[in-house]
Amino acid sequence: MATFKFPQQTNFYSGKVRDVYTIADDWLVMIASNRISAFDVILPKEIPFKGQVLNQIAAYMLKATSDICPNWLVSTPTPDSAIGKRCVPFKVEMVIRGNLTGHAWRTYSSGKRELCGVTMPDGMKENDFFATPIITPSTKASVGHDEDISKENIIKNGIAVAADYAVLQKYTQALFERGKQLAAKQGLILVDTKYEFGKIGDEIYLMDEIHTPDSSRYFYADGYEERQANGERQKQLSKEFVREWLIENNFMGKEGQVVPEMTEEWITTISNRYIELYEKVIGEKFIPELLSNEQSFERINTALQKKLS
């Protein structure tokens, strides 16, 4: 993936999945790469069309939730890029869970009943619904692993003042409810997800991507109850299958562990799963679009100049 240099560019940051350009200190260009990460490690092979899938789902979902809270997005000049307002981020991810799955289940099955200061009731099975969704925030680490954190410690450590956290919590709950409604229309259950927020002045904005396979987990609604009753694994659309493959091959991002070989067949499988999720979540056929670096730069720069002029 090429690194660009835009007029009035003031900063550049390459994250696990996205390349982020700051323009004139007020705007961001965010390009979703085809990189894939798991357990906070960037895997060695890229996944075709993953960036386009993430960017287009995020744009769709940001538009579909724009009545709930303001968000950063202004335009998507290319399939894998977005231009938006630069916010001062809260260094926390607002994770919300409707079901006992993934990290929550791993914590629960180890015998613990508390996650991020939230008590989980006894007697639950993997993938059961919580009575009401629980918010289990994590720190947003610039390097290394994100860490679970409670509401109390977020406020105590000055990550967010109590009044701001109350808004983050309200937005998180409302966005998740909307996400579940959108998923249900497509025969899916939005199981868990995360949101990131920032401020422009005194106003809180929703940032980054939402409801994508990198930030969310979906189950198929059809057959969910039967699978739960029979103790079967749920059919899901998310990145969890990549994590499960890594765990099966003795990799969880820990020191000394080696990423297993990613064959071309496996890379194609991952790509197809991402495209499947796009088509299932959006309800439209995925149309892959490949642009040269020059075409991408021209489109993004043209859109930028309209904002800067």
Q: Give a yes or no: residue 1 inside a domain.
A: no
Q: Same domain, yes or no, for 53 and 166?
A: no
Residue 61 to residues 83, 95, 211, 238, 248, Cα–Cα distance (Å): 15, 17, 7, 16, 33
Strand 88-89, strand 118-119: pairing: unpaired
pTM: 0.91
List beta partners, residue 236. Answer: 219
Which residues touch 253 (CB under 8 Å, ≥6 apart)?
A: 38, 39, 40, 41, 145
Q: Same domain, yes or no, for 63 and 99?
A: no
* CATH number (domain holding residue 150): 3.30.470.20
Q: Same domain, yes or no, for 56 and 195?
A: no
Q: Specify whether the CB–CB gap between 228 and 193 falls below 8 A.
A: no
Q: Same domain, yes or no, for 21 and 61?
A: yes
Q: Give a yes or no: residue 93 inside a domain.
A: yes
Q: Give a yes or no: residue 104 inside a domain.
A: yes
Q: Same domain, yes or no, for 171 and 35?
A: no
Q: Same domain, yes or no, for 117 and 231?
A: yes
CB-side neighbour CA atoms (13 Å) of 123: 2
Q: Give a yes or no: residue 257 inside a domain.
A: no
Q: Same domain, yes or no, for 104 and 230?
A: yes
Q: Same domain, yes or no, for 204 and 149?
A: yes
- Number of structural domains in the chain: 2
Under DSSP, the state recorded for 71 is: B
Q: Give a yes or no: residue 258 inside a domain.
A: no
Range of the domain at 155: 89-241
pLDDT of the chain, 309 residues: tens digit per residue: 678 999 999 999 998 899 999 999 999 999 999 999 998 899 999 999 999 999 999 999 999 999 999 999 999 999 999 999 999 999 999 999 999 999 999 999 999 999 999 999 999 999 999 999 999 999 986 655 679 999 999 999 999 999 999 999 999 999 999 999 999 999 999 999 999 999 999 999 999 999 998 889 999 999 999 999 999 999 988 788 898 999 999 999 999 999 999 999 999 999 998 998 899 999 999 999 999 999 999 999 999 998 887
Q: Which element (helix H / strand E) includes 300?
A: helix 293-308
Q: Same domain, yes or no, for 96 and 230?
A: yes
- How far, in Å, CA of 28 to CA of 31, rounded? 10
Q: Same domain, yes or no, for 188 and 156?
A: yes
